[in-house]
Structure 1
C-alpha cells in the first residue's frame, strides 16, 4: 500500500464503498450491509476515542505556545477576524442561494412525525452559553462535551501563560500527551481507506437515492452552497489577499479535505490538517500550533454557516412561517458568532437548533433533516476543514510566516512525513 499515495488509497476506498453499498442495496445482501456498517462504526469510534484528550491538549498547548510567537496578539486577532469574514461570506451566499432555490416550497413531509425526535434540551442561546461552562470536569470528558473541553483548555492555557515558568512541568505533560494522542490517531488515520469504504458503503446501502427524493432541492442546495465556498470563495481569497496559487493550495490540502469528507469529523482530521498546514502549505509551525487546533474546534463554514442558513429557510417554508429581512440578519449573526456550538464533531444539530430557536421556528424541523444528515455532513465537514486550512495560509502570508518554497513544492508524501511537532521548522518567507 505504501506504493500508493494516501489520497489514492482514500479514493480507492471511496469507490469500493460505493460499489459494495449498491451491491448490498440492490441485491439485498444483509450480511454485506451489516459488515459495512460495523466497519464504518469502528472507524468513527476510534476517531471519537481520541477527541477528549486531543482537543484538550491541543487547545491548551496552542494557547500556551502563543508566548513563543512574536506578535501573538496580532496573529490571534487576524485569525479570528478571518474566521468571522469567511463565516459571514459563507452565510450570505447560503441565504442568497436559499432565496433563489426556495428549497422548502412544494415539499410535503410528515411534520407530525418529527415531533418525536429527542433534541436533548438544546436549542436556546441560554442553553448554549450555560453549556460552555462545565459543572463537572470529569463529565465534560466522559460525555465528550467538546465545547466544555475547549473552555477548559483555553482557561488553563491562559493560566499557564500568566504563571510562566512554574507552569512548564504541566505544559510539558500536555505536550507529551498531545504528541502521543496524535501519533496514535495517525495510526487510526492510516486505516481511513478501509473506514471510508465502510462509511460510504453504509450510507449507500441504507439510503440509496430514495431518501433524497423529497429533499432533493434542499440537499442539492447544501452541496451547491458548499461547493461555491470551496471552489469560488476560498480560491478568490487565496489569490487576491493571499497572493498564492489556489490550485497549488488544493493540491497540498486535498488529503485532509478528502478525509474530512468521509470521516465527517473536523477534530478527527486535526492531525492530518496540522501536517498539511505545516509540511505542505509551509505555514510557520509555532503559529500553526495555535491556528489549526483553534480552527478545528471553532471554524465551521459548512456546518455553522451554509447548512443552518439553508435549513432555516427550508424549515420556515415547510411549516409556512414567513421570514423577513430581520430574520435573515439573525441567521447571519447566529452563524458568525455561533460556530463553536458545532465543536468539530460529526453533525450540526446543536447549531441548527440554535438557529431555529433564535428565529422562533419549530424545532420539529430538525427531525425532518436527521435522516439525510450523514449525507449532507460529508460536504459540510470538507468545507469546514478547507476553511481551517485557508485561514492560516492567509494570515501567515500577510505576516511573513509562510514558506513559499514549501508551499509551491510538489506535495510531500504524508506517509513519509515526520509526526506533528517533529518536522523541521520551515523558514519564514
Structure 2
C-alpha cells in the first residue's frame, strides 16, 4: 500500500494546489501549467501508453496459448461481454433514477441561448464488428486499435497452442517478453505520484471553482451514481459471484484506481491494472490478459452513468418530461451503443449525442456539461477500470475447474536460463 498512499497524497495535494492557483494566481497558473504541470502529467501518460500495446499483445498471446481450447476462450469471451452489458444496463438505470429524484436540471438558471455542439456521427454497428479484423496488423499496432490487436493476438495464441512443442521456443520468447513488460510497469509506477500530481493540479486549475460551483448538483448526482454502482453492483458481484471480499479488493486494486482517476484513460491504466489483477487479486494471466483489455475497450459503466444523468439533466433544463418508454429507450440505446462505438475515440460524447437524438432532445445541451466533463471523466474511468477487474475475478471464479489447467500450462512454459 506504500505506492497507493503516495499516489493518494499526490492526488490530494494536486487538487489543493490546482484550486489555490486558480483562485489566487490565475495568471501565474497558466505558465506553471504550461511549463511544469502539463509536462509532468504528459511524461507519465506517455510512459504508460508506451507499454500498453506490447503488454496487451504479449499477455493475450500468452494467455490464449495457455487456455489452448478455442471453446473455452469463447466461453470466457461470452461471459465477459454478458457481464459488461448487464452492468452497463444497471449503471444507466441507477443514473436515471437518481437524476429523476434529485432533479439537478431544475436548480439554478441555465442559459440555453446560443449553445452549440457539433456531434460526430457514430459508425454503424456492423462497421465496428467487421473492423475488428485487421487487414494490416502493423497498422493496428501503430494506431493502437485495441479490438484489432486483441483479435490478432488471440489468433497468434491459438496457433501457438495448436502447434505445441514445435513452437515451444517461440512461446518461451513471448513469456519472457511479457515478464519484461510487467517489470517495466513496476519501474514506470515509481513515477506515478509525480504524474498524478501534475495531472490533477492541471485539471482542477483549468476548471476552477466557478465551473464546479455552477454545475455542482449535476456533478454530485454523477458522483453519487458512480459510488452507488461501485458499492452495490461491483461489491455485490465480488461478494456473490467472485466470492471475494470487496474491501480487500479496494485495498489491493487501489493503485490502479488512482492511476485511472488521474489519467482518465482505461487503456493507459491497463499495464498496472493487469499486473495487480495477476499479482494481488489472484486472477490467472490467461484470464486477466484477455478480459481486461476487452473491458478497457467495451466496458463503459461509468460513461453510461454520465449519459443517464446528462440526458435527464438536459431534459429538465429544457423543460421536457421524459416518459417511462423514452427512459427505457435511453437504457437500450446506451447499452447497444457501448458495443457499436467501442473502438471510437471520444465514444462517450458520441454515445450521448445518439441517446439525445433517440429521445428528441437538443444535442446542443451537451455544451452545458462539456466544461466540467474532464473532472467527471476521471471518476468514470476509475469505475470502468474497477469493473474490468471485477469481471476478470468473476470469470476466474466461474472457470475455477479449468484454472488449475491454465496454471499448469503457465508453469510448463520453458523457463529462461
Q: How does 1:212-223 map to 2 (within 5 A)?
A: 212-223=212-223
Compare the two structures and name the one with the higher helix fraction. 2
Q: Which runs of 5+ in 1 are unaligned?
A: 404-420
- Is 2:150 the counterpart of 1:112? no
Quick one: distance in 2 between partners of 1:177 and 1:231? 37
Aligned-pair Cα RMSD in Å: 3.6
Whether contact under 8 Å (1:347, 1:373) holds in the other structure is no
**Are the structure 2 counterparts of residues 153 and 73 from structure 1 closer, same or farther at C-alpha, using a change threshold of 3 Å?**
closer
Secondary structure of 2:238 counterpart? helix
Preserved CA contact (<8 Å) 1:264 1:347:
no
Question: Residue 23 of structure 2 contacts residue 208 of structure 2 at CA under 8 Å; is this kept in 1?
Answer: no
Instruction: Tell me, yes or no, if structure 1 residue 194 matches structure 2 residue 194.
Output: yes
1:154 — aligned with what?
151
Change (3 A) 1:322 1:124: farther
The Cα of 1:68 is off from its aligned counterpart by: 5.7
Cα deviation code 1:190-213 (max 9, x no counterpart): 211111111111122222221022
Deviation for aligned residue 1:402: 11
Structure 1, residues 224-251: CA drift from partner, whole Å, max 9, x if none? 0000011222222222333322212211
The alpha carbon displacement at 1:219 in A equals 0.9
Q: Retained in 2: the 8 A contact 1:69–1:287?
A: no
Write the distance in 2 (CA, Å) between the matches of 1:235 and 1:135.
40
Q: TM-score, normalised by structure 1?
A: 0.79
Superposition deviation, residue 307 in structure 1: 1.2
Structure 1 window deviating more from structure 2 (213-222 vs 350-359): it is 350-359
Q: Distance in 2 between matches of 1:380 and 1:393?
A: 20
Return the offset for 1:135: 8.0
Aligned to 2:93: 92
Deviation by residue 1:56-93 (Cα, 9 ceiling, x = unmatched): 55556555554268843333332222222222221221
Quick one: structure 1 residues 138 and 321, their matched pair in 2 at CA, closer, same or farther if it must change by over 3 Å? farther
Tell me the residue number matched to 2:391.
Answer: 391
Tell me the SS of whatever aligns to 1:122.
Answer: coil
Whole-angstrom distance in 2 between the partners of 1:130 and 1:355: 20
Distance in 1 of aligned mates of 2:2 and 2:135: 45
1:21–1:202 contact (8 Å) kept in structure 2: yes
What is the TM-score normalised by the length of structure 2? 0.81
1: CA distance, partners of 2:377 / 2:393: 25
Contact 1:58 1:293 in 2 (8 A): no
Residues 63 and 157 of structure 1 are in contact (CA less than 8 Å); yes or no, is this contact kept in structure 2? Answer: yes
Structure with the larger RCO, 1 or 2 (CA within 8 Å, 6+ apart)? 2
Structure 2 counterpart of 1:325: 324
List gaps (5 residues or longer) in structure 2: 404-408
Cα distance between partner residues in 1 of 2:196 and 2:328:
38
Aligned 8 A contact 1:60 1:154 in 2: no
Who is 2:225 aligned against?
225
Shift of 1:259: 1.6
- Which whole-Å deviations, capped at 9, do the CAs of 1:156-205 have from their partners, x for residues lacking one? 62476369429969877776766555544543332111111111111222
Mean CA deviation greater in 291-300 or 52-61? 52-61
Does structure 2 conserve the Cα–Cα contact (< 8 Å) formed by 1:62 and 1:290?
Answer: yes
Q: Deviations over 1:350-373 (max 9, x none)?
A: 332333344443332333322111
Other-structure match for 2:406: none
Q: Is the 8 A contact 2:106 2:316 kept in 1?
A: yes
Q: Structure 2 CA distance, aligned partners of 1:84 and 1:192?
A: 31
1:16 maps to which of 13, 35, 47: 13
Q: Identify the residue that residue 163 of structure 2 maps to in structure 1.
A: 165
